[in-house]
Amino acid sequence: MKQLYDFIPVYVACGGTELGGMDYIVARKVLKKFESMNVTFVRDEITGLITYIDKLFGKAEMQDSKAYLRRIQNLY
């Protein structure tokens, strides 16, 4: 959480959006942990997670996170 508070203002100051900064952190810090899990179990739930992200943030947002999830889903 502290990383979000420190990173997002800097990301916005560089021309990004708050949601873009959050997407960057989620894709590279949070979702990266899926690689260490049993991906075959998680893979079946990824479609539902992408749908939830679309409903929560909109289809045009969180593109890095959704792309990362799709890559994990197609990897295994």
Domain residue limits at 43 = 2-75
pLDDT above 80 for 6: yes
pLDDT band at 76 (very low <50, low <70, confident <90, very high): low
pTM: 0.83
**Burial group, residue 68, by CB count within 10 angstroms (0-12, 13-18, 19+):** buried
Domain count, the chain: 1
pLDDT digits (tens, 9 = 90+) for 7-66: 999 999 999 999 999 999 999 998 888 877 777 777 788 899 999 999 999 999 999 999
Q: Identify the pLDDT of residue 64.
A: 95
Contact call for residues 54 and 15 (beta carbons, < 8 A) = no
